[in-house]
Amino acid sequence: MSSSSAGTVHLAVYDTFADWETGYTTAHLTQNGYTVRTVGLSREPVTTMGGLRVQPDLALDELRARDSALLILTGASGWDTGETLTPFARTAREFLEAGTPVAAICGATAGLAREGLLDDRAHTSAVSFYLAATGYAGGGRYVEADAVTDAGAGGAGSLVTAGPTEPVAFAREVFGLLGVYDAKKLDAWYRLFHDSDASAYEVLQGE
């Protein structure tokens, strides 16, 4: 990843993508100086699970790991109903091999499992048997946690995974990975948005 691209995060978009799963992530990245660009299979509009129409900023074949700080993959019905979204899993492999991080939530974790990207990494998802159904070889690395970050090895990019009910924990892992907040503010951010701890707001607002 080049320093000039450090502020660009790419969000994969496709029909039925679960728009609520990355709302915290993209909103707070944008508020903290990052640019979020959407990536589709093509530049044709897609419709989210929530019924929103999204015009991708670029097509998948235009995306390069060197131009990105992070690739985010959300859940969608297509991860479990065919191979339409397989190109995104292959792109995730290219990112990780290039040393650029990837964050996957919900059904996207199954897509990565089918691609073999979870075989040798600590990871989580909705439930362990959901990933086991893919036939992947990484069951021994499954972690019962809200969200998991695996730092990779040998120059590989870090990988964040989470289940569909954990958009706040998913965002926390992304922020920690990218250094958006220091440890104290990251803890406060999570307590505010996950636990509704009003006392955390003052910490976030402090210099």
CA angle 83, 84, 87 (to 5 degrees): 90
- Residue 4 confidence (pLDDT) above 60: no
pLDDT of residue 152: 86
Quote the CATH superfamily of domain 3-181: Class I glutamine amidotransferase (GATase) domain (3.40.50.880)
Residue 155 pLDDT: 81
**For residue 205, is pLDDT > 50?**
yes
- The residues that are catalytic are 106
pLDDT digits (tens, 9 = 90+) for 82-114: 999 999 999 999 999 999 999 999 999 999 999
As a whole number, the mean pLDDT across the chain is 94
126-177 per-position pLDDT tens digit: 999 999 999 999 999 999 999 999 998 888 899 999 999 999 999 999 999 9
Above 60 in pLDDT, residue 5? no
Going from N- to C-terminal start, the domains of the chain cover 3-181
Average of pLDDT values for 47-60?
97
Q: Which residues pair with residue 73 across a beta bridge?
A: 104
Instruction: List the one residue out of 30, 39, 34 whose CA is nearest residue 10.
Output: 39
Position 63 pLDDT exceeds 60 = yes
Output the CA–CA distances (angstroms, integers) from residue 153 to 174, 175, 202, in the order listed.
Answer: 18, 20, 37
Is the Cβ–Cβ distance between 53 and 47 less than 8 Å? yes
Contact 60, 34 (CB under 8 A): no
User: How do 53-54 and 8-12 pair as beta strands?
Assistant: unpaired
CA distance 195 to 140: 31
The average pLDDT across 47-55 equals 96
